[in-house]
Amino acid sequence: MRWRFRQISDLSWTGHRAIPVALIALVVTWTSVGLSFSFPRQWFLLTNMVATLITFFLLLLLQHSQNRDVKALHTKLDELIRSSEAGNHWIAAEKKDTDAIEDMREQHQDQISQERA
């Protein structure tokens, strides 16, 4: 399941400019068919259900892509820290708790202010 979801999120058509045009065409078709049947009650229930499922799927898709991008960015930053003269205590800072990150940031700010003085 995980690899299929990744395959879907890696597809280039998900951000293609033709997608909004296709969605507008789908809405126009859906509305015209609904008008021809004078919008029965089940029509609205089905519309709400499909819209909710599509929204939920897109939310998961975006979150997956964002998490993957952030992990790649952190890996690149860790490698830059490792290969530079920077302190290695910053490696994997994103895995520490909020208080530890704030302490590290304050310590870094103190070092900057001492260097300027």
For the chain, how many structural domains are there in total? 1
pTM of the model: 0.55
- Classify residue 62: in a domain, yes or no: yes
Using the predicted structure, report yes or no on whether residue 108 has a pLDDT greater than 80: no
Encode pLDDT of 1-50 as tens digits: 666 766 766 665 666 778 788 888 988 998 888 888 888 888 888 888 98
On whether the CB atoms of residues 74 and 94 are closer than 8 A, the answer is yes
Average pLDDT, the chain: 80
Instruction: State which residues form the domain around 80.
Output: 2-86
For residues 92-115, average pLDDT: 80
pLDDT at position 97 is 84
Residue 9's contacts (CB-CB under 8 Å, 6 or more residues apart) are 61, 64, 65, 68
- Classify residue 47: in a domain, yes or no: yes
DSSP letters, 13-82, are GGG-THHHHHHHHHHHHHHHHHHHTT--HHHHHHHHHHHHHHHHHHHHHHHHHHHHHHHHHHHHHHHHHH
Which range (48-57, 64-73, 87-96, 106-115) has the least confidence? 87-96
- Classify residue 110: in a domain, yes or no: no
pLDDT at position 69 is 85
- Classify residue 94: in a domain, yes or no: no
CA distance 61 to 63: 6
- Classify residue 114: in a domain, yes or no: no
Residue 72's contacts (CB-CB under 8 Å, 6 or more residues apart) are none
Using the predicted structure, report yes or no on whether residue 87 has a pLDDT greater than 80: no
On whether the CB atoms of residues 78 and 91 are closer than 8 A, the answer is yes
Model confidence at 84, pLDDT cuts 50, 70, 90, reads: confident
